[in-house]
């Protein structure tokens, strides 16, 4: 329940001349994963922006284990692995559905920023309360 | 039935500094539309490539009517509007689900190419026979 | 002199599983072409936005003639082919430098929009005066 | 001399709805950096592929410090920070030219793979000999 799964197909535009999904194409996939997880919690990212906050990426680590290919049905497993008032982190696994092959493991770290001042700020208590049950300890 | 509908959400990575989906991001969406239509016919694009053919884009026309935004649920309506032994064309409409707003109308023309020679060639008769009932006259 | 030339190399990220530059990757190239042309006229696009205008794409037509490949040095030849108070159009040719091969011919049409109202508006007379000598009749 | 510098402008297509360059857009920039460094050594990446090798990305770490914006002239500083027979690593800094602001620090790790077998293999001695003087110890 704390793992959110997003499933879609790898697009031709996401492949490269090696015949596999280009490494940069996984970053928008991870973004889909965390946007979908946030929607599942009841705090869609659009509502966070409407309340005057941005969740800005500060660090990303990606380990590429096995390539995904055009038309593969892939699943992004996303978990909220750290939640503080000023920053949060997500963990990800990207899998090819048909074979269960693990393509990518990743982690992203984010800072809470005020849209008006563009400075680091705190998430309000009500949003923290909604997100807290979603925190999953093991990476 | 001759119109195939693909539905997914606009990704943050697909937006630009105008706050809307960047015009180039629609091309991979159209590609998803025609790949999904081909899968629905029973002739997935991967099987066309496996049989030694490429469906190469030769022309594209896109009319941008209204912008899609981050997280919008969009539907790509795709139709096969021309089918010859050596070339085929698709027509598209991109709509925002929540409002029914028409974002984009587009047409793509394609040439059948042999993977081995990289020259124009003909689609085999059995594939033409499967695709023919999907041709939709009105653009 | 009315043709502006932008030259850069095709990126690996811009290729696809066919081993050539993906068709969608040309759209950001055309955008580089027109941004560079505007800078050359003395009216950089950033200054147009600072003055409260957006140049919004309304139509694009691309003819794909021959593929560019990874690491090809490509030149985008851009011309301003139509200039009205409310809309303007650009014409493009994309060439591979080493061989002179024509990859793509394209045309984009744009509408002048007010950033504050997001409605169609007119370019101010001083900008029109600067841009007018750059209009090139033949496509 | 062991640092290679690639300079180009941020494209509009690379921005997102936050008004800055989207985090995923830096990955193709890093790729441009290492491709340019390899060309500077006299071992262009195309020649590595022609000799039957792929340099496959296995890990990436990116720290985002400050955003780049549309039309910023950015410099990618690339260094070869590890060179073994079977793997190599690059370090990067992305800077905005006009202000000297550091946008991004990054590291990528790569595995040498045979194009024919798609298995890990060794770089040939002559390529190692050319690349060795370019190794730069400090990250």
Over residues C44-86, the pLDDT tens digits come to 999 999 999 999 999 999 999 999 999 999 999 999 999 999 9
Q: Name which of A12, A31, A44 is nearest B12 (Cβ-Cβ).
A: A31
- The beta-carbon neighbor of D28 closest among A24, A59, A63 is A24
Are the beta carbons of B13 and A31 separated by less than 8 Å? yes
Which chain A residues are Cβ-neighbours of C24 within 8 angstroms? 13
Chain D residues touching A27 at Cβ < 8 A: 23-24, 27
**Residue B45: partners with Cβ closer than 8 Å, 6 or more residues away:** A12, A71, B34, B35, B38, B39, B55
Average pLDDT in the D102-122 region? 96
Domain-embedded: residue B139? no
Q: How many CB pairs under 8 A join B and C?
A: 42
* Sheet of strand B87-96: strand arrangement: B4-9, B73-83, B87-96, B102-114, B53-64, C53-64, C102-114, C87-96, C73-83, C4-9
pLDDT at D139 over 70: no
Contact call for residues A43 and A51 (beta carbons, < 8 A): no
Q: Compute the distance between CA of residue A58 and CA of residue A36 in angstroms, rounded to an integer.
A: 20
Gap between the Cα atoms of C107 and A34, Å rounded: 38
pLDDT reported for residue B1:
62
Q: What is the band of C1 on the pLDDT scale with cuts at 50, 70, 90?
A: low
Query: Which of D6, D8, D12 would best serve as a mutation to test chain C binding (most C beta carbons within 10 A)?
Result: D12
| Whole-number Å distance between alpha carbons of C37 and C110 | 15
d(CA B107, CA B99): 23
Task: Mean pLDDT check: name the lowest of C35-39, C91-95, D42-46, D135-139.
Answer: D135-139
What value does the mean pLDDT of chain B take? 96
**H-only helix segments in C20-139:** 26-41, 45-50, 125-131
Residue C34: both structure tokens together: 């027109």
Determine whether the interchain pair C61/B57 forms a contact, defined as Cβ–Cβ distance below 8 Å: no
CA B64 to chain centre: 16
**Residue B119 CB contacts under 8 Å (≥ 6 apart), including other chains:** B113
Q: Could you tell me if C135 lies within 8 Å of chain D, comparing CB atoms?
A: no
Q: Is the pLDDT of residue A66 over 70?
A: yes
Question: B89-96: long-range contacts at Cβ-Cβ below 8 A with a sequence spacing of 24 or more?
Answer: B90/B30, B90/B33, B90/B34, B90/B37, B91/B136, B91/B139, B92/B30, B92/B33, B92/B34, B94/B26, B94/B29, B94/B30, B94/B68, B96/B66, B96/B68, B96/B72
D28-37 pLDDT per residue, tens: 999 999 999 9
Residues B61-92 pLDDT 10s: 999 999 999 999 999 999 999 999 999 999 99
- pLDDT surpassing 60 at residue B139: no
* Residues across chain B: 139
Q: Which of C20, C21, C27, C102 to mutate to test the interface with B (most CBs of B within 10 A)?
A: C27
* Chain-chain contact of B13 with D16 (C-beta, under 8 angstroms): yes
Residues in chain C within 8 Å Cβ distance of B27? 23-24, 27
Residue C111: C-alpha distances to residues B5, B18, B22, B65, C15 (Å):
30, 14, 15, 11, 31
> Helices (DSSP H) in chain C: which residue ranges?
26-41, 45-50, 125-131
Q: If you ran DSSP here, which 8-state letter would residue D37 be given?
A: H
**Does the residue B76 lie in any domain?**
yes
Candidates D18, D31, D60; nearest CB to A62: D60
Contact D98, D73 (CB under 8 A): yes
Is C139 within the bounds of a domain? no
Residue C139 pLDDT > 70? no
Identify the band that residue B39 occupies on the pLDDT scale cut at 50, 70 and 90: very high
Residue B137: per-residue pLDDT: 74
User: Distances in Å between the alpha carbon of B10 and those of A52, A63, A117, B30, D73?
Assistant: 21, 26, 27, 13, 29
Interchain pair B17, D19: CB under 8 A? yes
pLDDT exceeds 90 at position D121: yes
Domain assignment present for residue C65? The answer is yes
Q: Does the CB of D11 have a partner CB in chain C at under 8 Å? A: yes
Average pLDDT over residues D62-75: 97
Summarize the confidence of residues D84-95 as an average pLDDT: 97
ipTM: 0.95
Residues 37-96 of A with CB under 8 A from C: 69-70
- As separate numbers, helices (DSSP H) first and strands (DSSP E) second, chain C gives 3, 5
Q: Which residue has the tokens 């535009």?
A: A13
Reported as a pLDDT band with limits 50, 70 and 90, residue C137 is: confident
| Residue from A25, A32, A115 to probe the interface with B (highest B Cβ count within 10 Å) | A32
Asked whether residue A138 is domain-assigned, the answer is no
- C-alpha to C-alpha distance for D47 and C25, rounded to whole angstroms: 24
Domain total for chain C? 1
* pLDDT score of B47: 95
How far is the C-alpha of B74 from the C-alpha of B79, rounded, in Å? Answer: 16
Q: Taking Cα atoms as reference points, which of C16, D68, B12, C56 lies closest to residue A71?
A: C16
- What is the pLDDT of chain A when averaged over all its residues? 96
- Residue A70, pLDDT > 80, answer yes
The answer, yes or no, to whether residue A19 has pLDDT greater than 90, is yes
* D32 contacts D72 by C-beta, under 8 angstroms: no
- Put simply, whether B129 touches D (Cβ < 8 Å) is no
CA distance linking residue A31 with residue A25, whole number of Å = 11
Q: Min CA distance, C96 vs chain B (Å)?
A: 17
By the CB < 8 Å criterion, does A27 face chain B? yes
Average pLDDT over residues A67-72: 97
Q: Which two tokens stand for residue B79?
A: 């139709």
CB contact under 8 A, B32 and A46: no
Chains with 3 or more CB pairs under 8 A to chain C: A, B, D
Long-range contacts of B36-40 (CB under 8 A, 24+ apart): B36/B4, B36/B6, B36/B76, B36/B78, B37/B4, B37/B78, B37/B79, B37/B80, B37/B90, B37/B134, B40/B4
Cβ distance A62 to A104 under 8 Å? yes
Range of the domain at D115: 4-132
The distance of A80 to chain C (nearest Cα, Å) reads 29
Residue A139 domain flag: no
Short-list D26, A53, A11, D16, CA closest to B69: D16
- A36 part of a folded domain: yes
Which chains have at least 3 CB atom pairs separated by less than 8 Å from chain A?
B, C, D
> Tokens 């002199």 — which residue?
C1
Q: CATH number of the domain that D45 lies in?
A: 3.10.129.10
Candidates D59, D53, D57, D58; CA nearest to D121 is D53
Residue A116: name the closest of A52, A34, A32 by CA: A52
Asked if D132 is an interface residue toward chain A (Cβ–Cβ < 8 A), one would say no
* pLDDT at res. D137: 74
Q: How far is CA B130 from the centre of its chain?
A: 18
Q: Given pLDDT bands bounded at 50, 70 and 90, which one contains residue A137?
A: confident
D22 lies in a domain?
yes
**Residues in chain C within 8 Å Cβ distance of B24:** 24, 27-28, 31
């Amino acid at each position: 329940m704390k793992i959110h799964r997003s499933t879609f197909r790898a697009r031709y535009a996401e492949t490269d001349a090696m015949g596999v999904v280009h490494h940069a194409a996984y970053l928008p996939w991870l973004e889909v994963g965390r946007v979908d997880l946030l929607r599942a919690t009841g705090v869609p990212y659009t509502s966070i922006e409407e309340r005057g906050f941005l969740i800005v990426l500060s660090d990303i680590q990606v380990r590429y284990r096995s390539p995904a290919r055009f038309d593969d049905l892939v699943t992004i497993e996303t978990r909220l692995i750290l939640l503080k008032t000023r920053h949060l982190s997500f963990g990800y696994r990207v899998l090819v559905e048909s074979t269960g092959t693990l393509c990518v493991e990743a982690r992203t770290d984010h800072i809470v920023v005020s849209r008006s001042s563009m400075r680091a700020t705190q998430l309000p208590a009500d949003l923290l309360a909604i997100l807290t049950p979603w925190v999953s300890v093991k990476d």
